[in-house]
């Protein structure tokens, strides 16, 4: 049996591919732990700026491996939760490249990423109720924050999927492509990687963490994040490179 997750680093981008195509990349504990290790590598490696999470064989992830579930196995990592990324994500950006099915935990896996690129034929949904289960990997919490309550409720209670174009209309998907999602995800990743690494991490942190900030306390919470950037060598280099009409040479500090 080959590796359940394939990890390749190139041009500052860590590509993490779920490699169970015959099972539509249904998640196992081993795969979840492997994804978690890849995300820890992204966090720790100064040469990496961004990650892409994809699935092999034309599907992203069809959710939990039900055969494993019946044996008592839950596809979770101790730190990262379902799929190794739903309860903890690295400070650096992660892009989901979705082909085929992103269902149940597969949709929750995509929502745990920071951006989503999808092939036009991709399907998104949380059909757990059809199996007598509950979308416990974050779907029932994230969707009401990302969508109008009634739409989130429809997805949760019917379990019916939506297509990539509808998901894009609702703001769940960044880009819809006619080709393989991984190709469009690579373009997006490289565009991200040209920017200041510290600025990227802080921007991601503010976008994610500010969901919980009271409106009257935004500056109080945001200032410690922003101070790290404005006092950094990268901030000075960015201004200097702009003035000198050249590409910046980022140090990540």
> What's the pLDDT at 176?
98
Answer yes or no: 44 catalytic.
no
pLDDT < 50 positions in the chain: 1
From the candidates 73, 108, 183, 249, which is the catalytic residue?
A: 108
CB 108 within 8 A of CB 83: yes
Residues 19 and 107 in one domain: yes
Residues 111 and 210 in one domain: no
Residues 201 and 189 in one domain: no
CA–CA distance from 8 to each of 1, 12, 84 (Å)?
19, 10, 17
Total-model pTM: 0.91
Residues 136 and 239 in one domain: no
Nearest alpha carbon to residue 136 among 83, 172, 179, 188: 83
- The edge-to-edge listing of strands for the beta sheet with 101-103 is 101-103, 123-125, 162-163
Residues 135 and 226 in one domain: no
* 154 HSE (CA, 13 A, CB side): 7
CA–CA distance from 68 to each of 31, 71, 72, 218 (Å)?
12, 5, 6, 44
User: Tens digits of per-residue pLDDT, 3-30?
Assistant: 999 999 999 999 999 999 999 999 999 9
CB 249 within 8 A of CB 237: yes
Residues 157 and 139 in one domain: yes
Residues 190-211 as b/e (b if ≥16 CB within 10 A, e otherwise) read eebbebbbbbbbbbbeeeeeee
Looking at the structure of the chain, the number of domains it has is 2
* Full domain range(s) for residue 234: 197-243
Residues 188 and 216 in one domain: no
User: Tens digits of per-residue pLDDT, 228-251?
Assistant: 787 887 877 777 787 888 888 878
* CA-based R_g, the chain, Å: 19
Answer yes or no: 183 catalytic.
no
> What's the pLDDT at 2?
61
> What's the pLDDT at 1?
42
Instruction: Give a yes or no: residue 88 inside a domain.
Output: yes
Residues 201 and 186 in one domain: no
From the candidates 44, 128, 183, 249, which is the catalytic residue?
A: 128
The CATH code of the domain that includes 34 is 3.90.226.10
Residues 174 and 205 in one domain: no
Residues 177 and 207 in one domain: no
| Encoded tokens for 63 | 């959710």
């Amino acid at each position: 049996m080959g590796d359940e997750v394939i990890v390749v680093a190139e041009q500052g981008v860590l590509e993490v591919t779920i490699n169970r195509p015959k099972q539509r990349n249904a998640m196992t504990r081993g795969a979840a732990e492997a994804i978690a290790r890849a995300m820890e590598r992204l966090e720790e490696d100064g040469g990496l700026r961004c990650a892409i999470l994809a699935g092999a064989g034309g599907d992203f992830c069809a959710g939990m491996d039900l055969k494993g579930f019946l044996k008592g196995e839950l596809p979770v990592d101790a730190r990262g939760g379902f799929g190794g990324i739903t309860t903890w994500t690295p400070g650096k950006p992660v892009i989901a490249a979705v082909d085929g099915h992103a269902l149940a935990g597969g949709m929750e896996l995509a929502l745990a990423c920071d951006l989503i690129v999808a092939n036009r034929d991709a399907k998104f949904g949380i059909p757990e109720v059809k199996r007598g289960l509950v979308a416990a990997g974050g779907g029932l919490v994230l969707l009401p924050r990302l969508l109008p309550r009634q739409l989130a409720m429809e997805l949760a209670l019917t379990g019916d999927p939506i297509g990539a174009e509808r998901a894009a209309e609702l703001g769940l998907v960044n880009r819809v492509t006619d080709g393989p999602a991984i190709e469009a995800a690579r373009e997006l990743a490289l565009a991200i990687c040209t920017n200041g690494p510290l600025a990227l991490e802080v921007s991601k942190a503010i976008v994610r963490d500010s969901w919980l900030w009271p409106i009257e306390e935004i500056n109080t919470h945001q200032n410690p994040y922003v101070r790290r950037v404005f006092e950094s060598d990268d901030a000075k280099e960015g201004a200097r490179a702009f003035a000198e009409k050249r590409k910046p040479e980022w140090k990540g500090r």
